Structure 1
Amino acid sequence: MEDIEELAASYERKLIEVAEMHGELIEFNERLYRSLMSKDHLIVQMRQELIDLRGPVPGDLSQTSDDPSLSDFETAHRALINVWIPSVFLQGRAANAYHVYQVHSDANVL
């Protein structure tokens, strides 16, 4: 009889430990989820800042397909050319100064 009570008490302690670990895992999962959502929001925000500064990111056609001024035909049958100028350098001095542009481009037919 004493062994059964001891075994029951041991199972009860283990059950309490498992319940506590489960609670900790739930809290940890919630923190991870909030962190992930925060980082996703930051990525969206930084991508929009990049687009605002430099124009559409090469390879991202979603930025041009939502233009309400284009008809369905224009949207479906136009060529899309992305030009991206990531950097500009000033070369030369005084009257001989000029700018050198780094230009990337790609063309896609929609």
Structure 2
Amino acid sequence: MNWIILIVAGLFETGFAFCLGKMKEATGAEYCWWGTGFLLSLALSMTLLAKATQSLPIGTAYPVWTGIGAVGTVLAGILFLNEPATFPRIFFLLLLIGAIVGLKLVGEPH
């Protein structure tokens, strides 16, 4: 269950980074709405991360959380913010995904 909580926390990290990206181009009320989304996503992400680390090792949970956020943010940038999907970006994104999976596999003794 704590791995699911950690994954959701990572998705909220992607959410706050995406909101931050949208704030960059917004003004007025739209800026405030994206700012509110940023703060809510940040609070939920941190709260869920803290919950997940109650039973997962911090040395595994934190890098997995940041990795999910990084992968999600790159994908959101490509899909929604017109950022480039170049071969080197995709290659290193796949390496990062492999590292996240590897940390999950070696993170807990069986």
Question: How high is the TM-score relative to the length of structure 2?
Answer: 0.32
Highest relative contact order (Cα 8 Å, sep 6+), 1 or 2?
Answer: 2
| Higher percent of residues as helix | 2
| Higher percent of residues as strand | 1
Q: Larger radius of gyration, structure 1 or 2?
A: 1
